[in-house]
Structure 1
Amino acid sequence: METQTPTSKHSPLLKSCSNGSFRLRSPSLNSLRLRRIFDLFDSNHDSFITIEEITRALTLLGLDANASDLDTMIKSYVHPGNVGLTYEDFVTLHRSINDLFFGMDDVEEAVGSKEEQEEGDLNEAFKVFDENGDGFISAAELQLVLGKLGFTEAIEMGRVKMMISSVDLNHDGCVDFSEFKDMMRVLQ
């Protein structure tokens, strides 16, 4: 298996189909957010994430995962007798990937301010929802992303519109980056 140096911008396991970058690390990614990610990947809600569940989730997010490399990496974090990763295993895996692939970025980014890092992370998150790149998240775009992630809220457009209106401060029917930032900071 070919290894990559920590300065590499792309993991050999994960490749973005849309914008060429996928970062698992974020300075503002707290345990609540990591738990939400775990719960999203745990599609059968058995408190374990299997290789199949991770592969399916990454595919739904538009990421191409090398199944063999993914299997090898993840198995080393699964405790004997378990069918997959527990939440604690998932946290350990997350930290290891962060250290391996983004450790040098942390040194380089330490020069920049924490606010700049947070702004960049929020911008990347916003782009996930802004499917057409117009600078706004519409109800249709939110519905599409929620559907890809398997949220039942995606079935009813009325619920999606309520989600939009709850953060749409200027009442234009869309969420702009400023509104998205405000919403994310409240969730932290």
Structure 2
Amino acid sequence: MGQEKKMTQPSSFRLRSPSLNSIRLRKIFDMFDKNGDDIITVKEISQAMNLLGLEADTAELENLTKSYISPGNEGLAFEDFLKLHESLGEEYFGFMEATNDEEEEEKMKEQEESDLWEAFKVFDENGDGYISARELQVVLGKLGLSEGDEIESVQKMIGSVDINHDGRVDFSEFKNMMRSAIVKK
């Protein structure tokens, strides 16, 4: 071994597309905000992380977030959450400002494709290249979302993006869905 390994960020954190990133962050914020008060507390962040199977030390989370909480709030408002995320991107993940040259644009497109693939794999639990209603239901359930309680509503979700009507969502259909969500933003 002998060589130091440079820490690389997981590709699921490397969303460079501002519109994809904004949607992803809002969904994460809403997932953490269990009581819907537009404030996420350390307790809510910890609960959400535990639901996803990630261990979170409450003291560390509190330490990390306290300087981003606006005065008078008991937790992070969405704007505070964005500042925290931006800070983590700069300090922890080493993000750099993108340039507008063609090479950088191509890299961003490749990165967006990679990000979408990583997101797709979260839902495609069995790795067969398709998201079934059952797989979607399991993920929604893990996130504590009520939509995951009824298979009929999950099947309707699948049907709304299932272009070829095979009862499942392939990667192409998933990309179309994600890109149309960005446009509707």
Which residue of the partner structure matches residue 78 of structure 1?
69
Is the partner of 2:118 in helix, strand or coil? helix
Partner of 1:88 in structure 2? 79
Q: Does 1:31 align with 2:22?
A: yes
**Richer in helix (by share):** 2
Give the counterpart letter for 1:183 in structure 2. M
2:53 to 62, 70, 73: 62
* CA displacement at 1:145 relative to structure 2: 0.9
Structure 1 112/62 Cα, relative in aligned 2: closer, same or farther at 3 Å? farther
TM-score by length of 2: 0.82
How far residue 9 of structure 1 moved from its aligned partner, in angstroms, is 2.6
- Gaps of at least 5 residues in structure 2 are 1-5
2:176 is the alignment partner of 1:182 = yes
Cα deviation, 1:95-125, whole Å, max 9, x if unaligned, reads 1111122225778x94962211111000110
Asked if 1:168 is matched to 2:162, the reply is yes
- Separation in 2 of the partners of 1:86 and 1:104? 23
Distance 1:53 1:94, change over 3 A: same
**2:3 alignment partner in structure 1:** none
Report the residue type matching 1:140 in the other structure: R
User: For residues 62 and 125 of structure 1, what CA distance do their matches in structure 2 show?
Assistant: 17
1:116 aligns with 2:106: no
Instruction: Indicate conservation of the 8 Å contact 2:90/2:96, yes or no.
Output: no
Matches of 2:74 and 2:180 in 1, distance apart?
36
- The RMSD of aligned alpha carbons is 2.3
Query: Conserved in 2, the CA contact under 8 Å of 1:24 and 1:94?
Result: no
Question: For the structure 1 residues 104 and 37, does the alpha-carbon distance in structure 2 shift closer, same or farther, using more than 3 Å as the test?
Answer: closer
User: Which digits, 9 at most, give the CA deviation of each residue in 1:36-74, with x for residues without a partner?
Assistant: 321221101122100110111112223222332222101
| TM-score normalised by L of structure 1 | 0.81
1:138 aligns with 2:127: no
Q: Please give the alpha-carbon distance, in whole angstroms, between the structure 1 residues aligned to 2:105 and 2:35.
A: 42
Q: Percent identity?
A: 56
- Asked if 1 retains the 8 angstrom alpha-carbon contact of 2:131 and 2:168, the reply is yes
Q: How many residues align?
A: 171
